[in-house]
Structure formats: structure tokens, C-alpha cells
Structure 1
Amino acid sequence: MAVNWGGLICVAGFYVTILAVGVYASTKTKGITSINEVMLAGRNIGLLLGVFTMIATWVGGGYINGTAQSVYDTGLWWTLAPFAYSCSLIINGLFFAKTMREQGYVTLLDPFQIKFGRGMGGLLFLVALCGEIFYCSAILTALGYTFSVILDIESNIAIIVSACIAMSYTLFGGLYSVAYTDVVQLVCLFFGLWLAIPFAFTNEHVTSIVETSSTWRGTWDNRYAGVWCDYILQLLLGGLPWQEYFQRVLSAKSVRNAQIMSYAGAIGCLIMTIPSFIIGTIATSTNWTATEYKQEITDSNIVLPLVLQYLTPKFVSIIGLGAVCAAVMSSADSTILSISSMFSRNIYKHLIKQNASEKEVIWVMRISIIVFGAISITLAITVDSIYGLFYLCTDFVYVILFPQLVSVVYIDFTNTYGSLSAYIIGLILRLGGGEQLLKLEPFIEYPFFDNGEQLFPFRTFAMLISFMILILVSRLFQYIFTKEILDKKWDVFKCVVNIQREVEDTLKIKYVHVADRLDENPSVDTTL
């Protein structure tokens, strides 16, 4: 198959448009050296723009390609991510958005470093980093497959070019550029996929999905009930502690807006999932050997682009490709910005160089965008499964970061001793279960272990044990120090009786909090 030059020109035009919007939005931060302005758009994101950027951030290439892939592979029974991620937005809106926005934090890791110390915050950053990198890689992998099918372009080239464009406008525009381009990208995604569905449905080689319902619904096997529960809880609760989400919540004009963005985002994510579900069912109902593809699908990663390429007219497939490009870039730019924001503020500013100026931190953030973008590109090129990466991105976040998030928001007595113990135990228990996608063999055989396969919900078990360790060890050290069973000099983390908080960082966060509250209510008590 020859390169589709007409399609390539159309996609290039789309990329130029996105780049132009991103560059225009970046003028809002020209000459600005404020972290709040670059990372959080001055906490001035309105409700409508906030809803658009919230939806676009979650509905990425991995989301739409991965959903179609999962429906084709295992059916609706096992296509859990769209429902779980949508519910996680509602949970965040109910239990975390209000507190985080009221406190005026800049990143997700701020409350962790205030409560558990800079060093512990740095360790937790590594978990968040893994989740973000895997997520971004899933997004870019989806794009590479789509390009290779529809345009007959080398997938690696598509991955590199698309990531570089997303990084370029994020580099100088920060959250402003990301949010403004999200609007364009989400509109393109919605119309591009819905346009393709009528053509694919009515293709002569597609059997009625009513007749093939037993295939696309999937089958239930009680043997895998524990695995199913494990996955749904992992996606639901592991979808809570994400910087992309909190970056939008913390940038909202008010607490009320932050919560509404969460609920509206959940509804929007479900709506945007429908085309991918339908495309997956169409793929299972197609006689592929009768199409120009002339063979059965052996690589389910390319289910969505195959439907666009062989079941719709050429112009529709190109528009559909534009939709996938939009989805990829809308999430890739958000993810890279999120990682870089946490690194520059919570690692560089709080751990490496505490007297760094805001201008210096912003430049570190820009360099980080390039570095983490390059890492994501490398992983996208070397790992095969889109949906596998999509699951894996929430894995360590669920086991380690979720219990810690609950503790910093709702449990007063937890401390660094409990946090570190829970981190170590959770990591050992999770790694012990193995990971096929990373070629990691299990070294712990959980109950119902069968021929190298973990049928026990070991991820949830690891999360619960990690949570329990966090609470029990924290309470233990609180008791032995406050009751003077151990002298306070042994409080080496300085978090129970020999407290030596990062006063400067804490006050900075509180000053931001006071300023925000004054904007919303001038009569508020400003006592620190």
C-alpha cells in the first residue's frame, strides 16, 4: 500500500491548526515568571473551558483505541476502564476536589510533602511518574498504530512527530496552551468518530450487531472473578490520585467550579466512550476476509484504525484519523505538563534547590517537558499493547499512592514512618505478583496461583495491606514517641515530637490559599 498523500496533507493541516492555537494561547504567559500562571493558568480557568479540558485530558488515544481493542478482544464484560475512570471523576469531585482546591495547593504532591516531608514526597513522585509515563506511552502507541494503518506511515515517525508538536506548545504556553488546544481537539474527536459510525454500520461486510451480541458482550468465567474485581477496583480507585486531574481542579476559579468540572467531566467521558464501544462491536461483526484487508485481525491494537480504513470511505477515514490525533495530543500534552510540574516544583524546588527562583523553576519545568516526552516516546515505540499500558498506568498508583492520598486528606495522625513502611510493603507485594507486560516473573504465589497466572486479586490485597501498614505504623510511632517510650531524638523523620517542618514551603502554600480565598470571599479570616 502506498503512502496516502492526500490524507497526510490533511493531517498536516490539522497539526498546523493545533500548533497555531497552542502558540496563540502561549502569548498569555509571555514574559510571565509566576508558577501559578504557567502551571495553573493563574487559577483562572472558567467552567466551560475547564469541563472541555477535563474531558479531553482523560479521553486520549489509549482511551478510544484501547476501548475498541478491549471490546474486540474480550467483550464488554472486560472493558472496564471507561466506566471506572468516569466514576473516579465523580469520587474525586465528592471527596477530594473541595479540600485540595480550598487549600490552594499547586500540585498533587504538595500535601504529601507538607505532611510526610520533602524526601517522602520525592519517593511518591516516582510512583506518580511511572503512572504518567505509562499513560502517555499508551496514548502515543495508539497514534502510531492508527497512522501506520490509514496512511501507511511508519508508526515510529508518527509517534515522534506528534509528541514533538504537543511538547512544543506546552513548552512555552503551559496550562493555557493545553486547555485551549483541548477545546479544538475534543470537538474534532467527537465529530470525527461519530461521522465514521454510520458508514461502518452500513458496510456490506458487517453483520448486524444484534446477531453477534454473544461475541461482543464477552463471556463470564467464575474462575476469573477475582481478577475482574481486582481490575475494576484498580481502575476506579487508581484513577483518583492523578496530577492531570488535580491540575485542572487547582486551576479552577472556585471550589464550586472544580467540583462541577469533575461531575461534568465524568458524563463527558462516558459520552465520548460510546463511539469506541460501537466501533469495537462493529469490528467483531465484520467478515474481514471479504474486505480489502483480506484476512482476520491478528493484532487487536489496530482494531479502530482498521474499521476506519476498510469500512468507511477514504475521506471519512482521514477525518477519523484526525480524531485519533486530536485525542492523542489532548492527553499527551496534559500528561507531560503534569509530570514536569511535579518534578520542577516538588523535586527540584523542594529537594534539590530550595532557594530556586520561580523563573528558574519554570525553566526546569520546560526542560523536563522535553526529557519526559522523550522517555514516553521511547516506551511507546518498544511496548506492544495499548490496553495493557492503559491498565498498567493505574497499577502502582492504586497500590501505593491511593492509600497515601486518603491519609493526607482525611487521617490526621499518619506520619512519615507509616508512609515509608506502606510504600515499601506495597511495592514488594505488587512486584511479587509479577507483570507479564514488563516480562516480570512473579516471586510471590498468591492463593489460586495457577501455572504462572495470578487469579487472586493481589493488587487490591497489596493496596489494603499498604493502607493498613500506613495506619498501624503511624499510630505505633505516634504512641512510642508521645508516651516517651523512645526519646524524641530518635524521631529521625522529625514528624511526631521532634517536629521540624518545611516552614518556608508550608507558609508559601498557605499564602496562596489565603489569596485565593480572599478573591472568592473578601471577608474571610486570613490568619495563618
Structure 2
Amino acid sequence: MNLTILLLYLLGQFAICYYISKRIESEDDYLVAGRKLPLYMISISLFATWFGAETCIGSSAAVYESGISGSRADPFGYSLCLILSGLLIAPRLWSKKYFTLADLYRDRFGDSTQSLATWILSLSSLIWAAAQLRAFGHVVSATTDLPVNLTLFLSFCFVLAYTTLAGLMGDVITDVIQGAIITIGLFVLLYLVLSQSGPIGDLLIAQQTGDRLSLIAPNETWWERADRWAIPILGSLVAQEIVARIFAAKSRSVAVIGCYSSAAIYLVVGSIPVALGLMGPHLIQVEGDSEQFLILLAQKYMPWFLVPVFAGALISALLATIDSILLSVGALVAHNVLIPALKVTEENKKLRLNRTVVVVAGVVAYVMAIYSEGIYELLETASSFGTSGILIITILGLWSKWGCNRTATVTLITGLVATPVGEYIFKVPSPFLVSIAVSLMVFFAMSLVKPKAASSPS
């Protein structure tokens, strides 16, 4: 029964995307949804895209094991990230009418910066996609009793078929549906847990030890604490998944307000899995893989016929994120690397190339998901991989006249190297913050050597 309901749900999602795909005629339709999306679509889509495995599966499991300090990224860190996007990114980027972030780097700095940034952004997104695929496999496994590796493979096959069809318009329309489903599902689970287990005050506070209620992990230094906050806030600030929706907004104000409203939605809804994880040890004992905590909690407290519905809600959150990520990788690699290199001009060939890259990206993400250790580790890696250099050249490229092609390229290389060197060689307690500081110093130093900008921001 559970498997049947899940299959019907997934087929419904596929049917929506297949219907929308018939209206995709150009790269503009596929990558930026014709640049005509209203506020409610931008807001819900941004929320649904960010609200994936890290909140539904990874963070609830981390809080279950370690308390609030186990997952500070959700909902606080990523909510702040979306607010900063509305302040720093959306106001300047919307008017550019680009397709991808790499278009900005090409126009502001040069071709080599565009190419290097494309590969950094793509690999970071692929790591993130692997986390979502892994979480998808866990949900289906816990719901159907099939092995995780098998469900991971089946999830991979479905996601590829689902993502390649309808582009950003299909992504956003299904985001709206999926965002509503996951929100309702989480509120229903929270209500059932509280109605069967006692007052929320007792579960959240009275029965908790001081360590579980603290945002500070045991023996954590100030620098370590700052670094863990910086990764979700700054490490995810400059992402193709965000800017694709900024480009697709029908006006500048829609793009900006959409970022703010999505942050508010994320903060409210994202608090529910964290609260459930905090209450978890008093509700259920998880043996083995703690990343199945949330679905096992649903199996205990929900009527049997609601469990596959809740699993469908979790799958909604995961699908909303996975298809956005793979579409972003396809846009970056196809639009900024392959189409210029192959001199493709026909719109149908551009669409075919974008869809082909999405398939290849899905295969790479699947391999990463198989060999990864856990969801939360993947997410932290994705948020810090080379992103310090990306962050610096994007913010300063938008808001200053400093820097040229050489400046930006060296800054990107510095960002790639500084984090692993700081963490594994020098053992600094805050490698990501150090990487940002070093990248910033390199950018200004290189700008002084050759201060003339390639172009000035508008």
C-alpha cells in the first residue's frame, strides 16, 4: 500500500512536468521561465528549494543526537542567508537579465573567471545534490522496507526523468505544490506528537538537559562557533539556485521581496523538524541510522494511512531541491561552457544540450551519494567548497569597480585552496572564515597591482 501511494504521488509529479515541457520552446523558457514569475511563486520556490534534506532529514537527526548545537544552519543560518540575498544580490542582479551567475563573471571580469567559477559552482552544487539524493533514498527505504542502496538507485532514475523535462517553470510550479505539501505534513506531525505526548513546554524545555538547549557545542571555541554560522549564511549566499529565481522574477521588487518572504517562511516551517529532533529522545529510540529518525517518528505517531502521505511530503521537499540543483548545474555547464565552445545557435540544440548536461550531473551526484558518509557532512562540504572566492568576487563585482580578470581568477584559486589548507595543514579552528579573509586580501592586493576594472557595476 505504501509503495503504491508513493508511486502514484511520483507519477503525478512527473505528469505535471511532462505537461509543462510541451510549452518549453527556448533556452529563455528552460532556464529562467520566461522572466515572468510573480511574487508568490518566487517566495515559495526559494523556500522549497532551500528546504530539503538538510532540514527534513539531516538537521532533525543532528538535533536528535546532539541538541540544538548539532544543527545551527537550520533554520537560523539559511534564513539569514535568504535575507542577505534580498539585500546584496537581488537588487543588483535582476536588472542584468543574465541566465546564470557565470554570465556576471564573464561581463564583469572575463572569460577565464567565467570558466573557473562555472566549475566551482557546479561541483559545489553536485555535492549538495548528492545529499538530497541520499536523503531521498532514506525516505523511500524507511517507507517501503526496501534496501537503501536500491531506493537510492530508483530515486536517481526518477529524479533524472523528472528534472530534464520542464526546466525552471516546471521546477517552480511543482515547488509551489511541494512547498504546501511539506508544510502541511510537518504541522500535522507536530500536532499528533504533541497531542499524544504531553505539553510542548515539557518536551522542549523541562525534560531537556542544558547542553541540548544550547546553541554552543561542548568545548567549542568562539572561532569554531563563528565558522559554523558563517558556512550556511555566507557559504550559500551566492548560489545559482537562488539567482535563477531572481532572474526569473517579473520585476526587481518581486525578486527582492521574494527573498525576504521566503526567509520568513523558512524560519517558521524550518523550526518544526528542529523541535521534533529536540524532543526525539523522549519520543522514540532510533537504533542504527539516525538519519531515518523523522520518518520513523511519523510511523509511530501517525495513522498508517498518513505515513505514505507524510513520506510524500518529505519527498516533495527533496524533489524541490534536487531538480533545482541539477537544473542549475545544467545551466552553468551548458550555457557558459558548451554552447559557446560548440558555437550552438539553434534553440532546439541548446535545449537538448542543457538536458544532456542535467543527466550527466545526475549520474555524478548519484556516485557521490553512494560513497558519502552522511547527509549533514555533504551539506557542510557543499557550503564551504570554494565558496569564499565566489563570495568575494560576486559581492565586490556587483558593488565596486575594483578588480579585473586576473584579480578574480587568483581570488577564486585562493578560495579553493585556503579552506582545506587552513583546516588540514594549519588546523585553524575557523577555516572557512580564514578563507574568506585571505580571499578578500588577495582580491584587494591584486586590484592594487592592476586596479582598472573590466567594467563598472550599474
Structure-2-length-normalised TM-score: 0.93
CA distances 1:47-93 after superposition (whole Å, capped 9, x unpaired): 22222211111111233112201211222134221211111111111
The whole-number CA distance in structure 2 between the counterparts of 1:92 and 1:473 is 27
Q: Work out the CA distance in 2 between the residues paired with 1:317 and 1:98.
A: 42
Is residue 465 from structure 1 mapped to residue 443 from structure 2 by the alignment?
Answer: no
Summarize deviations over 1:303-350 as a string: whole Å, max 9, x none: 212212234332232222111111111111111111101111111123
Q: For residue 58 of structure 2, what is the aligned residue in structure 1? A: 66
| C-alpha distance 170-146 of structure 1, shift in aligned 2 (>3 A) | closer
1:17 equivalent in structure 2: 12
Pairing partner for 2:401 from 409, 412, 423: 412
Candidates 141, 154, 171, aligned match of 1:148: 141
The 5 Å alignment of 1:179-328 reads 179-203=172-196, 208-214=203-209, 216-218=212-214, 220-221=217-218, 223-286=220-283, 288=285, 296-328=286-318
Equivalent residue number for residue 71 of structure 2: 79
The two structures have a TM-score, normalised by structure 1, of 0.81
2:130 maps to a residue whose letter is: S
- 2:321 is aligned with 1:331: yes
Contact 2:132 2:321 in 1 (8 A): yes
**C-alpha distance 258-241 of structure 1, shift in aligned 2 (>3 A):** same
Residue 40 of structure 2 corresponds to: 48
Report percent identity of matched pairs. 23
Cα distance in 2 for partners of 1:184, 1:176 equals 13
Specify every segment of 5 or more residues in structure 2 that has no aligned partner in the other structure, as ranges.
none
In structure 2, which of residues 167, 170, 182 is the aligned counterpart of residue 174 of structure 1?
Answer: 167
The partner residue of 1:37 within 23, 26, 29 is 29
Whether the 8 Å CA contact 1:205–1:286 is kept in 2: the answer is: no
SS across alignment from 1:213? coil
Q: Equivalents in 2 of 1:208, 1:417: separation in Å? A: 56
In structure 1, what is the Cα distance between the partners aligned to 2:243 and 2:346?
24
Bigger proportion of residues as helix: 2
> Does the 8 Å contact 2:389/2:439 carry over to 1?
yes
For 1:117, the aligned partner's letter is: G
* Runs of 5+ unmatched residues, structure 1: 1-5, 289-295, 435-441, 448-455, 480-494, 514-528
The one-letter amino acid of 1:458's match is: P
Deviates more, 1:413-422 or 1:155-164: 155-164
Larger Rg: 1
**Comparing 407-416 and 161-170, the one that deviates more:** 161-170
What residue is the counterpart of 2:107 in the other structure?
A: 114
The alignment covers a number of residue pairs equal to 453
- Write the letter of the residue equivalent to 1:81: A
Partner secondary structure for residue 28 of structure 1: coil
The one-letter code sitting in structure 2 at the alignment partner of 1:466 is S
Change (3 A) 1:415 1:71: same
CA drift at 1:287: 5.2
- One-letter code aligned to 1:346: N
The RMSD of aligned alpha carbons is 2.4
Range that drifts further, 248-257 or 73-82: 73-82
1:189 positional shift: 0.9
Residues 189 and 397 of structure 1: CA distance in aligned 2, closer, same or farther (over 3 Å): farther
Which is further off, 161-170 or 53-62?
A: 161-170
Cα distance in 1 for partners of 2:386, 2:86 equals 18
Q: Which AA in structure 2 matches 1:7?
A: N
Task: Identify which range, 384-393 or 257-266, moves more after superposition.
Answer: 384-393
Deviations 1:141-167 (A, max 9, x none): 112122222321122332333333333
Distance in 1 between residues matched to 2:236 and 2:416, nearest whole Å? 18
Match of 1:483 in 2: none
Which structure's relative contact order is higher, taking Cα pairs within 8 Å and 6+ residues apart? 2
Shift of 1:203: 4.5
Q: Choose the corresponding residue for 1:123, options 85, 91, 116.
A: 116
Q: How far did residue 418 of structure 1 move?
A: 1.5
- C-alpha distance in structure 2 between counterparts of 1:75 and 1:407, whole Å: 37
Q: Which whole-Å deviations, capped at 9, do the CAs of 1:448-477 have from their partners, x for residues lacking one? A: xxxxxxxx2121111110111012112212
Is the partner of 1:241 in helix, strand or coil? Answer: coil
Does 1:346 pair with 2:349?
A: no
Is the aligned partner of 1:390 residue 2:379? yes
